[in-house]
Amino acid sequence: MKNVAVIGSGTMGNGIAHVFAQFNYQVNLIDINQTALDQALKTIEKNLDRQVAKGTLTDHQKQVTLQNISTFTVISEGVATADLIVEAATENIDLKLKIFKDLDLHAPKSAILASNTSSISITQIAAVTSRGEKVIGMHFMNPVPVMKLVEVIRGYQTSNETTDTIMELSKSLEKTPVEVNDYPGFVANRILMPMINEAIYTLYEGVAGVYEIDTVMKLGMAHPMGPLQLADFIGLDVCLAILKVLHDGFGNSKYAPCPLLINMVAAGRKGVKSGEGFYRYT
């Protein structure tokens, strides 16, 4: 496996492209928008510079990594010779289903189609393709170059061969893959999102303030970020969307999103990306 196409050049997509390119895969980074692709290359270069400054990467390795990435605005061209495609587009089911139909049409028949979805059903995505056994979840964590986990999600039809290939491939990126089954929220977000939601309820009910809640969790549980800061970092709209998947998928009120979260998203306070969430970023 040598040629990897990554769909979507946002935070996750550029991080995934960065890591594959750093480990000598040829990466085609695909987005409909050339400006977004140019911005992604700048972000990758900035993040490579951090690694060079830290001494974990040489300047030569940085240059090779950048040379390993080509950009495309047309899916059919970008995936034509891919062995693996990792989709990291916006977390919207209709968009993902459309992309996977296109991938099934244009990618080589032997290619594995992976999604970086944080909570959309892999089985449902696979159902719009003619190669369900080759569709799998490859859920990286943000920031991708730093976080060691890849949550590998087996859809209902995913074959052992596809799973083994993706487990090995993740190790070649110096990540630790963990195999899980395809149920709402998989494992990462099934456990993380109720914690974040509970932190928001704790604020909403006036038990404590933002600083106090985050400090309890940071210093008390040794989390690198408190849950409210982490929610800002992930995006409050993304947190809300994942909670809705859990709530709908299990039909259990314990996953009901906190009204404060719903209000903040409706008001456009989405966290770091909008300049304000539980904290201000401007």
Q: Which span (24-32, 141-149, 161-169, 174-182) binds ligand CAA, by CB under 6 A?
A: 141-149
One character per residue 10-49, x = contact with ligand CAA (rule: CB under 6 A):
-------------------------------------x--
- Site size for ligand CAA (CB under 6 A): 17
Q: Is 145 in the site for ligand CAA (CB under 6 A)?
A: yes
Query: Residue 139 belongs to what H/E stretch?
Result: strand 135-140
Interface with ligand CAA (CB under 6 A), residue from 224, 251, 252, 282? 224
Find the shortest distance in angstroms from Cβ 218 to ligand CAA. Answer: 10
CA 30 from chain center: how many Å? 15
Choosing from 146, 219, 221, 267, the residue that interacts with ligand CAA (CB under 6 A) is: 146
Q: Is 234 in the site for ligand CAA (CB under 6 A)?
A: yes
Cβ distance to ligand CAA smaller for residue 145 or 257? 145
Closer CB to ligand CAA, 46 or 280, in the complex: 46
Q: To the nearest whole angstrom, how small is the minimum distance from the Cβ of residue 149 to ligand CAA?
A: 8
The closest of 62, 120, 59 to 87, measured between CA atoms, is 120
| Residues 74 and 1: beta-carbon distance below 8 Å | no
CA distances from 210 to 4, 35, 206, 219, 242 (A): 41, 36, 10, 14, 22
The stretch near ligand CAA (CB under 6 A) out of 30-38, 201-209, 224-232, 267-275 is 224-232
27 touches 6 (CB < 8 A) = yes
- Enumerate the active-site residues: 118, 139, 151, 189
- For 101, counting Cβ atoms within 10 Å of its Cβ (0-12 exposed, 13-18 middle, 19+ buried), the class is middle
Query: 40, 65 in Cβ contact below 8 A?
Result: no
**If binding is defined by CB under 6 A, does position 147 make contact with ligand CAA?**
yes
Rounded to a whole number of angstroms, the minimum distance from the CB of residue 277 to ligand CAA is: 14
Q: How far is CA 89 from the centre of its chain?
A: 9
Nearest Cα residue to 173 out of 72, 11, 27, 8: 27
Structure tokens at 268: 């456009």
Q: In the complex, which residues of this chain contact ligand CAA (CB under 6 A)?
A: 47, 50-51, 54, 118, 141-143, 145-147, 188-189, 224-225, 230, 234
- The annotation places the binding site for NAD(+) at 8-13, 31, 91, 96, 118, 142, 273
